[in-house]
Structures are given as structure tokens and as C-alpha cells.
Amino acid sequence: MRRDLFTEDHEAFRELARDFIEKEVVPAYPQWEKAGRMPRETFAKLGETGIMGITLPEEYGGGGQDDYRYHVVLQEEAARALVTLSTVRTQLEVILPYFLHYANGEQRARWFPGLAAGTLLTAVAMTEPGTGSDLAGVRTTAVRDGDDYIVNGAKTFITGGMQADLVVVVARTSTDPDNRRAGLTLLVVEDGMPGFTRGRELEKMGCKVQDTAELSFVDVRVPATNVLGEEGQAFSYLGHNLAQERLTVAVGSVAQARSAIAAAIEYTQSRKAFGTPVASFQNTKFELAACSTEVEAAQAMLDRAVSLHVEGELSGADAARVKLFCTEMQQRVIDRCLQLFGGYGYMMEYPIARLYTDARVARIYAGTSEVMKVIIAKSLGL
């Protein structure tokens, strides 16, 4: 169906992103999967093209384009090429907004040039063993000591944690018995600070091209100048960015489901069974037609949500609806497409298998499907 989400500038950026992905990502992707990460030099190359800093102010080497649609284009082009830029996506769409919204002038001067150049890599450390979606239950502490905070605690499931130069840590700086959400603060822990260690690199069933780590903080002395925003306001900051984070997941879900259909069409047209192309069977046609319809429905919902977000009007409940619908759709569509590959669909040499394993986490991170339903139900007054 015709889309009216993008301008000529977005389409020009699409050509830039497509060219970079085809030349710099696709040929090396199998090696990155084996290594468990995208190499740092690729982030720097993305910085040279302007992709890493497209939303950062021009005075720091960025593009000054405060428009979420550029991120949508980048995800769509990665999916088109049957790859993902998961760690890049996390840095640009999940973590960078915290710096853009809450970094002061001194912090911007200190960090933004490296962020734009792709030479400073980031991670956000929210989740702890046992807390999951309960951010108010964070147990990592940051105790003020003169001009510093002393940070102690542990974080897990941290995307990009093994490579990050700057880790935005959610820590408790005070306790209010009547309000569990009060007293959380964002502190930027830098690589090399004594007491900050990276633990296990977690082995996942999918998303092999991004590292996921456990992080430990033992008496880490963090300067007060590394606090993002105001002390004690982190819960509201986290909530402010959750709508975009969930929208980001939905963008990837729709783009990857669309790519699964394209891969299934190509395979079934070339694969023969009983002397006939699999694509000629009525079951194949019906399955792909149904999948295509689901993707178009999700795309329409998603594009509307992206437009609302660009206008600053996407509500938390609507972001939850979009994430719930698009990620559940992704699971259904990719599963049905994999079935058309038969036994080959189970082999990792075919991209459909990677799409299948990568898709499973979409219904978990940035809030599980169950959490999305709770948010939606509350918006209904239930």
C-alpha cells in the first residue's frame, strides 16, 4: 500500500543507508555473528557517513535532524538486506535520547563529538537480576560522597555492554517509603572507572550480532558532573523515552516480517516439490497472501504511530498497542514463512532461521507483551 510517511530527504538518506549496508555490513555479517558483535571500526565508518550523528546538533559534528523517521529508514534498509543493526539501533534510538534531553552544556561538549563520530559507544543499564520490568525495584545504589557518587550494584541483559565507553546507569540515590518511583538517578559510568567490571557475555538464542552483558559496580566513584538531568528524576526520564523505545521495536518487527515474506517468495518460486514450484501450490499462495495482509495492517498502524511520535503526540498506551500488535504479528508471519521452507527453514544457513530466532525477543524486551496489555487495559479504565 502507498505510504506517505517520508519526504525526499528521507528517501535520499535511504539511498545512503542502503549503499552503506550493502557494501559494509552484508559481506561481513556472518563474521560478526560468529564474533558476537559489530566491530568498533564499523561504528566509526557510520560516523563518517553522518549516520551516527544525524540527530545530534551540528555544532558537535551532527546532522541536526531531530526527526525519528531517519531511524525508521535505517531499520527498514537493514531488514531489507536481511541483517540487523541492533547495537546501532539501541545507541541511536534508545540511549541517545537521554543524552539529547538531559545532558547539560558541559556534558554535551565532552561527549557529543565522540557520539557523532561513532567513536564513543554507549549502553543503558536498567535491568537487574530479579527486577525485569519493575524499574521501581532497582537496587543499585549511588551514595553521595563530596563531589562524587559511590555506585554499587549489578545489571544484566545489557545490550552493547561489552563495548560501551559510556554506560547510563539507573541507580537509587534516595528512598521514599511512600513512593517507590522516587529517588532514582541516571549516572554515566565511563569505561576504566575503578570498580566497574564487565562480567559474563551472555549467550543468546538470537540477535547474535550484538553483545549482551552482565555489568558489576563495586564502589565505583562517579563524579557528580556525570549525572544526567536532575538527581532523583530518573523514573520520569525513563518513562518519557519508553514510547520511542517500544516504537523502535515495532519498526523492526514490521520491517523484518516484510523481509521474511520476500525471502519466502523467492525461495518458493525456485524450490520444486513433486516437479512443481512450491509457489504454485494454493496453500503457499494463501499463506503468503495472509501474511502480506497482516504486514500491511501493521504497517498502517505503525506509520500512524510514527507520525504521532514525530508530532510529539504518541501516548504511552498507543505505543504499547503498536508494540503488542506488531511484535505478535511478526511472530505469526515469520513462523508461517519459515514453514514454507520446510526442513531448510530450520537450517541457519538460510536467513529465515535467523529472522525467526531474532524475532522471539521482540515480545520480551522494552516491556513484555503482558506488560503492554496491562498498560492498554489501564488506558481503558480497567
Hey, is 187 helix, strand or coil? Answer: strand
Question: Which residue pairs from 18-21 have beta carbons closer than 8 angstroms and sit at least 24 positions apart in sequence?
Answer: 18/77, 18/80, 18/81, 20/45, 20/46, 20/49, 20/51, 21/77, 21/78, 21/81, 21/83, 21/85
Between CA 352 and CA 339 the distance in angstroms is 10
CB 162 within 8 A of CB 215: no
Backbone angles phi, psi at 196, to 5 degrees: -90, 115
Task: Output the nine-digit C-alpha cell for 123.
Answer: 549502553
- In the set 214, 245, 287, 294, the catalytic residue is 245
Q: Where are the beta strands (DSSP E) in the chain?
A: 122-125, 141-145, 148-159, 166-172, 184-190, 196-201, 212-223, 227-228, 272-273, 276-277
DSSP 8-state secondary structure symbol assigned to residue 93: I
Does the active-site annotation cover 245? Answer: yes
Catalytic residues, by residue number, are 245
